[in-house]
């Protein structure tokens, strides 16, 4: 029996659309388990394999870093961030707006939003984790695309 609501009965991950609909009813412990599992997957993705290190040249690394900060790539990441912000829950969006746009402390944001401080912290942390995951995956995709097609930038 599948006890992880982010997996289908065959053990494969559910689509983003399925998750967006179902995750609204998850408990905080389910969220914690899901986010821990995502973090573990990200760490596996980011780990270099020794055989890759031997073939990866300094020039490739330098070229990729140069491309990362060009206008087109920056624009792509900015657009991705805007899209991901829209996917956050309304409460997470309100918390981020209060803390980062209005420059309120956690306590001030909690008071303004009529939430307790731990709820504000949890929403902030989950929102930032979601945004950073999306941006990391975008950067990795850009890196992968740029190394497989050096003259073409991911779009």
In this predicted model, what pLDDT tens digit does every residue of 86-145 receive, in sequence order? 999 999 999 999 998 999 999 999 999 999 999 999 999 999 999 988 888 887 787 777
C-beta atoms surrounding 125 within 10 Å:
13
DSSP state of 14: P
**Token pair 């941006």 in the structure block, residue:** 135
Between CA 16 and CA 22 the distance in angstroms is 10
pLDDT in tens, 27-65: 777 877 877 787 777 666 655 554 454 455 555 555 655
pLDDT in tens, 5-31: 878 888 788 887 887 778 878 877 787
CATH topology of domain 69-146: Arc Repressor Mutant, subunit A (1.10.10)
Residues in Cβ contact with 147 at an 8 Å cutoff, skipping those fewer than 6 apart: 60, 64
109 near 144, Cβ under 8 Å? no
The pTM score is 0.50
């Amino acid at each position: 029996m599948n006890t992880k609501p982010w997996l289908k009965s065959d053990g494969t991950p559910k689509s983003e659309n399925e998750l967006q609909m179902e995750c609204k009813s998850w408990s905080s412990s389910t969220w914690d388990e899901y986010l821990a599992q995502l973090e573990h997957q990200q760490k596996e993705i980011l780990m270099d394999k020794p055989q890759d290190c031997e073939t990866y040249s300094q020039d490739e690394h330098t070229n990729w870093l140069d491309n990362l900060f060009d206008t087109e790539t920056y624009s792509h990441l900015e657009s991705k961030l805007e899209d991901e912000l829209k996917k956050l829950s309304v409460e997470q969006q309100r918390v981020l707006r209060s803390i980062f746009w209005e420059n309120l402390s956690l306590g001030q944001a909690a008071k303004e939003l009529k939430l307790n401080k731990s709820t504000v912290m949890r929403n902030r942390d989950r929102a930032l984790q979601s945004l950073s995951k999306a941006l990391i995956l975008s950067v990795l995709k850009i890196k992968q695309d740029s190394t497989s097609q050096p003259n073409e930038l991911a779009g």
